[in-house]
Structure 1
């Protein structure tokens, strides 16, 4: 495999895990963070202890606080900053690329939707980085907790792009014995699946905390996936995408694992903690909390029925008791399953 220069923007758990995969594949990897102490720890100890504990990083992962130094000469740039920071960082990246005169492949690996605009990661990247500085935009989605990836747990993801050759190039730089990448051309479905599964995962955590068993969890999982697909199709997604890694695969991983911040947020929700308490206790970004509000608004705008999302929204933002929300869901008029 030839060496590719790759910059990873965002040194959280997932950004660091992806950088580590690339370094293990012997690529030139630059990991950018705005936190000087974090950069020093990565470079001096090969650890990112806040996000990945004592799991050692490949020595090929080199961290930077200087954005220009991180992206100069890079052929591929991964954006793995939180949704709320994606547009701001992409704007700074545009300025940097224009100053350098450099054209890159942009890859988004953040699972969320922008509040207010309802834009997906790929749309924010495309809007902020001028076409003359980007060859194409792609996204990485699928069932992939950083905690498993760093330990070489067999991980399967998909990379989606309108340009299949670009998707195949990203596939090639990432794929190895424990990290397998598939390609597809459905950006909308891939990103909607990746974002909305976080909402359902909050509900799954709440069910777990409240003591509900497999029947309730299976109901949430199945009907939650139906809601995800319903909105996705209204936005132009391929319905088959939701049967794949970015759909049912990512939903399963996120809605069943304590590695998921969204699932853990749901656990605390079921314990009666307030939204402010949950956010303060986690100490990290919980994408599903803001995504729930965005999706609730988007569903209303698109006239898409999403009762589970609405219930989770009411528990999070209107202080509804989770058991009352469940009772209301169970009391809805019955209809055909396909509706």
Structure 2
């Protein structure tokens, strides 16, 4: 597929902060951009106010950005879809999309999670559904990943990300489509590596937040980031990902951002856990989803299934799902047998 520089039609599926920021990038480049959300009341407010006041206040829409709840119309008219719904509802939304897909559509996943029931990444979820519906050959899949807080992207803060697609020519086309003077896009063919690193870094961010909440210092944070990257890389190499991915934007870059940035939802969950707050209360008070909570469950199952040692992930799992005391979890990490790095 060759897209024109202007006036292509694109649909962003998911009207949270990140979906809104992505729609803003695409519409600012002259593309007709549908922004789809499932809650009619919310989308009507977007139309009335010209901004997403709930998730990204102060970012006003241009004339090419069209909020909608009509998934059939938006998908049927679009050459490219960008999926930005949470990982645990991703499959159900994608099933609604499938009957309306045009041939030769390119679908970009911008979601950093792993499905709990199947332990599949988002492109793997889509592949499964496409095969089931006999549409695998008519659709190309890609992934957008990297250190990118939605608020800063919307404010045109210089940002760098990676687009991954098995077809390099498609990746380069998407690079041109998404890239702006402040949103720099690199390309890769390591789709699974990008997805795994993006999903697992949220777990390490929760761990880092826990230690911040307990009052530990920068030494502890640096140790968790470094050893967390080692765990993610170890798992990624086991499943055939490219080693270079884990030292790149989706690996080390996104890990640093999510573990240190005040806008990180996953780090925020960890901080509150470290301060003694219960998970149920933390989640009930959040306006947006912290993907790392659900990904911890998927990640724990994957590490056990594949026999990969991931001690930080294991302790986060025990805190979230077995109500383990945060201080005891840190002690158990530190008291493990000494070993070579």
Question: What TM-score do the two structures reach when normalised by structure 1?
Answer: 0.96
2:339 alignment counterpart: 335
2:281 alignment counterpart: 277
Q: Aligned to 2:148, what secondary structure does the other structure show? A: coil
- Which of 187, 200, 204 aligns to 1:196? It is 200
1:209 alignment counterpart: 213
* Contact kept in structure 1, 2:103 and 2:139, CA below 8 Å: no
Q: How big is the shift at 1:286?
A: 1.4
Instruction: Report Cα offsets for 1:178-213 as digits up to 9, x if no partner.
Output: 111000000111000100000001111111111111
- Which of 39, 42, 53 aligns to 2:46? It is 42
1:14 is aligned to 2:18: yes
- Which of 286, 291, 310 aligns to 1:287? It is 291
Q: How big is the shift at 1:131?
A: 3.0
1:233 is aligned to 2:240: no
* Contact kept in structure 2, 1:46 and 1:59, CA below 8 Å: no
1:85 alignment counterpart: 89
Q: How big is the shift at 1:321?
A: 1.1
Q: Which stretch shows the higher mean deviation, 65-74 or 186-195?
A: 65-74
Distance in 2 between the 1:150 and 1:59 partners? 16
Q: How big is the shift at 1:283?
A: 3.1
Distance in 2 between the 1:131 and 1:255 partners? 39
Q: How big is the shift at 1:74?
A: 0.7
5 Å-filtered alignment, 1:19-168, equals 19-97=23-101, 102-129=103-130, 130-131=134-135, 134-168=138-172
Number of aligned residue pairs: 334
Question: What TM-score do the two structures reach when normalised by structure 2?
Answer: 0.95
1:256 alignment counterpart: 260
Poorly superposed stretches of 4+, deviation over 4 Å: none
Q: How big is the shift at 1:133?
A: 7.0
Instruction: Report Cα offsets for 1:287-315 as digits up to 9, x if no partner.
Output: 10010011011100000000000011111
- Alignment RMSD: 1.2
* Contact kept in structure 2, 1:73 and 1:102, CA below 8 Å: no
Distance in 2 between the 1:31 and 1:332 partners? 49
- Which of 187, 190, 197 aligns to 1:186? It is 190
* Contact kept in structure 2, 1:94 and 1:133, CA below 8 Å: no
Which consecutive unaligned segments of at least 5 residues does structure 1 have? none
Q: How big is the shift at 1:105?
A: 0.4
Q: Aligned to 1:6, what secondary structure does the other structure show? A: strand
Distance in 2 between the 1:264 and 1:58 partners? 32
Q: Aligned to 1:54, what secondary structure does the other structure show? A: strand
Q: How big is the shift at 1:284?
A: 2.1
Distance in 1 between the 2:137 and 2:44 partners? 30
Distance in 1 between the 2:207 and 2:294 partners? 14
Distance in 2 between the 1:156 and 1:40 partners? 32
